[in-house]
Every structure is written in structure tokens, then in C-alpha cells.
Amino acid sequence: MAQTVFITGSTSGIGEASARRFAAAGSRLILNGRNEGKLQSLKAEIEVQYATEILLLTFDVRDRQAAKEAIDGIPPQWQAIDVLVNNAGLVLGTDREHEGDLAEWDIVIDTNIKGLLNITRLVTPLMVKRNSGHIINIGSIAGDAAYAGGSVYCATKAAVKALSDGLRIDLADTPIRVTNIKPGLVETNFSVTRFHGDRARADAVYKGIKPLTGEDVAETIFFVASAPEHVQIAEILIMPTCQASATVVHRNIKQ
């Protein structure tokens, strides 16, 4: 039977690209997102292009009860999850820490940390029971070093690294693998969300550079998941060639 891949936040960006990449390889997909319409559209597109099966789970990863009901209700023939891609995540605003919006912080923390924990806690026991599986968390270069206007987001991605490392330690006596993938600048809907829909500000983030695409990161995720079973790629930092660190980026901008 084809492997089953569970992807959170699958309706755009890295999540959507990952769904397409795994489908191209013949994987069955469990796709999660908050928007039922977008999930249905993605399912229809992928099913036309690839011969694969898709199960949709519509819920917000922040909602622990909804997540539990959805995952507990997965049909038996779908419960053998081979790969979990914890992709759902976001950032809101660029406020300085002492001026930040507390409500926005709650959304970011609850999605990037608690949402990841919710799904990991519900899916990992299924892998432990089968003694097989791979958990791939989407972290960020932001988890390596804080930058101006992003301290809370950076803290959540530092937490993703710590949670990935801790889970890997906790599962060391099993064949289950844990990977943390840390992208640098990726042009997706990420910046549009950060700037509350301001497309001009979002476009300015990528001015003068050739950033990564969602497909670039999806290819890395697929590579990690395709490694031989005895190979555990614990962590990958992936950046566009023009980027050297979280804050050092060379831009070709004509004056």
C-alpha cells in the first residue's frame, strides 16, 4: 500500500506544495486546513492530476477538541500514518516586543506551538503503536536568532526546535524519525498574512532577491522523508543563495 502522509496547513504555501509533491510520488494524503472550500478545491485538482486517495480533515490546529475528534474519527484504513508534516504556522505584525498586540501573540503562540503539540500528541501514539513513522516539523531560520519586530514569532520557532529535539530523544528507542526543517526567506502567503493583507509591504520583503518557493521547501521535505529508514535527518536549514543568516540578505536593487 502507498504511504500515507498527513499535512497540516495544507491549503497554501509549503503545505500545498508538499501535498502536490507527495501526491506525485503516489502517496495517499490526509490534508488539514481551516477552509473547507480551499481543501475541496485542492483535493479536486490533485485527484485530476494524480492517481491518489485524499482524506480531508477540516479544523483549526489550535482547537484541541476539534483536532481530537477529527483524528480519533479517522477511518481504520487511514490510521497507518507514515509521515506527519506539522506545517501549520503563521506570524502577525512586526511590533516591537514591548508594544505588541497580545491577541495576535495568542494566535501565533497557539498555532505555532500548541497547535503543533496538539497534532503531535494525537498522531505520534499511532506511529508508536505501529513502530513506524516520521514526524517532520516546519521550523524557521527565525528559531536560530531573534530579529527586530519578530521576537515572539522567533520564540515560537525556537520552541519548534526544542520540541523536535525533545521528541527525537523521547522516541530514541523506536524507529520513528523526527526532523526539523528551517526555511529562510520563502515567498508564499506568509508575509501577506504578517502584514494583514498588505500586498505591497509583503512584496517589498522579496524585492531584489530570488527567494525560495513553497516547492523548494516541499522538495526538501520529500527528500528527508525518502531517506533510508536507518537515516534520520534531524535538522535542515535551507535558505536562498542570497541569504546568509536571518538578517543578512544581499539585494540587487538598482538605485
pLDDT in tens, 89-103: 999 999 999 999 999
Name the DSSP class of 98: G
Predicted confidence (pLDDT) at residue 3 exceeds the cutoff of 80: yes
Residue 210 lies in a domain: yes
Classify residue 251: in a domain, yes or no: no
Q: How many structural domains does the chain have?
A: 1
What integer is the mean pLDDT of 136-163?
97
State what percent of residues in the chain have pLDDT above 90: 93
User: Which of 35, 1, 2, 43 lies closest to 19 in space, CA to CA?
Assistant: 43
What CATH number did the domain enclosing 225 receive? 3.40.50.720
Kindly state whether residue 253 falls inside one of the protein's structural domains.
no
Task: List b or e across 138-157, with b for residues whose CB sees 16 or more CB atoms inside 10 angstroms.
Answer: bbbbbbbebeebbbbbbbbb
pLDDT for residue 105: 97
Q: What is the pLDDT of residue 232?
A: 98
In sign, the C-alpha dihedral spanning 200, 219, 240, 107 is positive
Q: Nearest to residue 250, comparing CAs of 213, 215, 223, 211?
A: 211
Report the chain's mean pLDDT, rounded to a whole number: 96
Q: Return the ∠ at Cα 53 (arms to 42 and 115), rounded to 5°.
A: 60
Average pLDDT of 108-135? 98
Whether 2 shows a pLDDT value over 90: the answer reads no
Q: Grid coordinates representing 49?
A: 492530476
> Residue 181, exposed/middle/buried by CB under 10 A (0-12, 13-18, 19+)?
buried
Is residue 1 over pLDDT 80?
A: no
Which range is least confidently modeled, 49-58, 166-175, 187-196?
187-196
- Domain annotation covers residue 45: yes
Q: Is residue 246 part of a domain?
A: no
Q: Which three cell numbers stand for residue 30?
A: 490526509
Say if 255 falls within a structural domain: no
Cβ count within 10 A of residue 99: 8
In a domain, 82, yes or no: yes
> Does the pLDDT of residue 20 top 70, yes or no?
yes
Specify the pLDDT at position 191: 85
Look up the domain containing 141 and give its range. Answer: 4-238
**Annotated catalytic residue: which of 50, 147, 153, 206?**
153
- Indicate whether 255 pLDDT > 50: no
Given a cut of 50, whether residue 161 has pLDDT beyond it is: yes
Mark whether 206 is an active-site residue.
Answer: no
Alpha helix segments (H runs only) across 197-236: 199-205, 214-225
Q: Does residue 44 fall inside a structural domain?
A: yes
| Residue 233 backbone dihedrals phi, psi, to 5 degrees | -85, 100
| 14-28, 66-80, 150-164, 186-200: least confidently modelled range | 186-200
